[in-house]
Structure 1
């Protein structure tokens, strides 16, 4: 059941001048916020009604405006305040090294505004490094691609007037190396494990000595993008009263410093006042934060010395407890740059377009999949390729896109975004290897020793490991039943999983639906602990838009499907590891294609259609936002207001 449509006649959206002032209500809620219970930002309030609308925007990823006025025309005005809306995926983590819970683009969109990465992932709509906004010049490789020399751009300064130097990079590397298991992006064997040593010949240069010869593109796109210079002169301490300087120079000291910074970051009420978070090198400063509503106020950093200085004076980020509350605020004119859920898109796009808004789906370079559990009690079933193939055969992606997503989605056939025009997606991955067919799914099962049991669900009749038997760990008489954990707050997702359940039943597979809160979904993690296996077979988030690891630009897959990954459900394949390793060693697309084709055909995860990261709704006097960024990060510094 979806949220009821808004009642009454919509009022004309309020217009504003250069400086728009907005305030919290008396109860601390953002403008237009209702009292509905919170839910995950990506859990779109959605439809179950079937529609055959296919939009012209489908198949593009630039987020091009659907009406005139969404481009970058018009003379920029200096200053002004713009409001930006998130849903209920609250900003709750300021420290730029993410843990598993904080590893989302919503958290990083704020923290990277304060402390940018060394190299900027995403150049507008293109999945590539943005050399203009990066803090360093392109790296120089030598000694058969085993040595990387990086030179910082001149004139970069912290907001306290101190220069950004190689010592700030060294501080980051010391923290990361000593605490890598607590950093969400870490994958064993990759950065920083493949770093033999680092030297610092001067204040503007550092030299990384790798453990072997590596692909220049992979190192640049996926390793150097993880580096975030951090203010050593302020953060390298173990308490607020201790002096800062070289506490992190030993592994034990780096652990103590890391623990101190994480503890400071857990005190949300001091985000806008803690002197630690005031020393920044990014274009924006966090000047106000409400830990209850997660409202963030970013003010242009007057001491910013990098490229692309902000046009705006302030950006107010509202976090709404429900999509209904956000849409209410949007309709009343309290949001400059917001979103409409899929359920409201068709009904509101014409109204919004005629009331001063541009509507533009944001189809970022992400991939959506259903995570399979290879380590829990369902592991023996999910470990069988033919079962995974059968499951993929009963996912009707075309139907889901046409009905639940109103045509705003991209078919997903493997681990690399199937974005038109992308050089990274292989020709093979553009074609569905397991098209929708319940009969094909059923044939795969019966040919491997399964037969219908009670209620039509398949049971194993020929246990064993021969090619025509059920497979290792599957006992005779075991029912082909899988528990599907999914995000309960999203009716759109519910429509998809119900259709999946119905189709699977026709093939003899019983999908036991287990709706959960987003909090519960996160708590059960990606890899089940061996001491207490998680009791789920498939996990599917609403609009869980997987990219390559947030700081990864080239989709080589180590963070997703390499051994030791967290969100791959414990997937492990020596052949996949070898193919991934080849993408790290050899420059060029052939090795990348080999990896993605293998993972696609192996159905390492269940491929579901990729949603738009959001359907953006933007006031027509706000420019500089289009095209929308490749990896879902709002580019606040490029925005400007016009008359």
Structure 2
């Protein structure tokens, strides 16, 4: 059984306000010496500066993860389908005993930038760094880390064995626990304290020994991080230099894309009509046959069940009526410019690797799930009567405040559509905009009533719900259901696929949050670059080592 996340401190990456800054573009002539991009292209957050290059000590932001994944290699790298990509991760193999209580990981042969080999002892060292942090570890509880591991030990120079406290689902432990282990150089890092590591998260001297495809050459906070090929990394990498450039916002980034300063980027929502300026650049879609790039996430309206002002939200019929009147297809068409996917549970709709057949059917028919007439019947039967256009019961009106992000035109449009739809149902909604930091602080404080948020699955890529919706999960916010807890716990046990599907169905019925559609993003790239499918992952991972330059004459600019 996995314990829930202990605090909000590590949620920057996974729980973001719904930015909806639809993606951008690039323009390049020939083959630049450096491939440059902004962090978080594809809907993962703001193009902000790196605050840590440490896989173990960081604020758990997507920006940081993308930076440290360039210089360090995790045991497990997710594939575009959210399974294991055995090409890009450090693990050569992962073996489970029949009881699913002992996990043996064999490493690929790799060397640190000082020429010494990466060993199983480095993996154990990293696990101990996580273990000694306890609940201050940003991903505490995700994948049961670190407490689900009873013992980590070296079997040989390239093999490490984990003995677990209970049987586990292979999918869950591999994708949610082993994915957190980025071996760090035990000899180079030494036995410093947690405080030391926390105070040296961007110390280039500390990061000088690394095993990733690139090494960190220079970092200027607020401007850029530059990387060059690690000479000890196997194979010859076509992209010799890589750069993450930081911007104050996506609009500023777009200007850099138009001039050819960047080779990979996105078209922000406010400038969607300007996409013609980069129409000659190829678009990248991570799901064949589906336009746009889709991050592995779900979007929601988080309800604060602890707030007595909205005690009526504890009534399942009220939540069901509100969900039935969310016009998901209209939001996709109007707000997302047709790039989007309907979603009615916490397991992402794209890619649909872990969705049950019944949930896939719901996602494919959003107009069928939009049923205002049924919502009216539910509230009528539940005793909510209309007085002067507003529903009330026992003197309490159906009325609440919805928080959303300042500066996002898309989110403003979406909030307005929700308010209008619910007003027809007899529900009064007050809209309140806030900057991202203020909104998240308000949610953490327990003072919010409802807030538009998203949850990105990284590195908890197997979407089991542990730490999210169980009794003290970070999204439960006072909601608790024993049947849901049972389904979540069963989904992380061996052979837990059917339990996962049951969990998805329970969420769609019980609605501890209200589900919103997921946007697609227009990611554009230099016409001479290939390998985008491996480079940009729906779980926010980037792999510049996968990029290739097309042969001369094979990369004509598109028109």
| Normalised TM-score (structure 2) | 0.85
Q: Give the C-alpha shift of residue 501 in structure 1.
A: 0.8
Q: Is the 8 A contact 1:370 1:540 kept in 2?
A: yes
Q: Is the 8 A contact 2:250 2:268 kept in 1?
A: yes
**Deviations 1:181-218, CA, capped at 9 Å, x for gaps:** 22332228823222222232333222211122222222
Task: Count residues in correspondence.
Answer: 518
**Deviations 1:43-77, CA, capped at 9 Å, x for gaps:** 3457xxxxxxxxxxxxxxxx9x99xx99xxxxx98
Distance in 1 (CA, whole Å) between partners of 2:74 and 2:149 is 18
Q: Give the C-alpha shift of residue 143 in structure 1.
A: 5.0
What's 2:375 paired with? 441
Distance in 2 (CA, whole Å) between partners of 1:198 and 1:511 is 52
1:94-493 to 2 correspondences below 5 Å: 94-97=53-56, 102-121=59-78, 123=79, 125-142=80-97, 144-154=99-109, 156-187=110-141, 190-238=144-192, 257-265=193-201, 271=202, 274-291=204-221, 293-305=222-234, 310-345=237-272, 347-354=273-280, 356=281, 358=283, 361-378=292-309, 380-419=311-350, 422-432=352-362, 435-453=369-387, 455-461=388-394, 477-493=395-411
Q: Is the 8 A contact 2:143 2:177 kept in 1?
A: no
Q: 2:257 is paired with a residue of what secondary structure?
A: helix
Q: Is the 8 A contact 2:180 2:459 kept in 1?
A: yes
Bigger Rg, structure 1 or 2: 1
What's 1:92 paired with? 51
Aligned in 2, Cα 1:568/1:264: closer, same or farther, shift over 3 Å? farther
Aligned in 2, Cα 1:90/1:585: closer, same or farther, shift over 3 Å? same
1:585 alignment partner, one of 475, 493, 506: 493
Q: 2:354 is paired with a residue of what secondary structure?
A: coil
**Deviations 1:237-291, CA, capped at 9 Å, x for gaps:** 33xxxxxxxxxxxxxxxxxx222211222xxxxx3x5311111111122222222
Distance in 1 (CA, whole Å) between partners of 2:185 and 2:479 is 38
Deviates further, 562-571 or 388-397:
562-571
**Deviations 1:345-381, CA, capped at 9 Å, x for gaps:** 3x34444233x55465212332222222233335633
What's 1:83 paired with? 36
Q: 1:131 is paired with a residue of what secondary structure?
A: coil
Q: Give the C-alpha shift of residue 426 in structure 1.
A: 0.7
Distance in 2 (CA, whole Å) between partners of 1:491 and 1:563 is 35
Q: Give the C-alpha shift of residue 553 in structure 1.
A: 3.1
Distance in 2 (CA, whole Å) between partners of 1:204 and 1:365 is 32
Q: Is the 8 A contact 2:142 2:177 kept in 1?
A: no
Q: Is the 8 A contact 1:283 1:309 kept in 2?
A: no
Query: Where does structure 1 lack aligned partners over 5 or more consecutive residues?
Result: 1-39, 47-62, 71-75, 239-256, 266-270, 462-476, 529-533
Q: Give the C-alpha shift of residue 571 in structure 1.
A: 3.9
What's 2:11 paired with? none
1:516 alignment partner, one of 421, 434, 441: 434
Deviates further, 486-495 or 141-150:
141-150
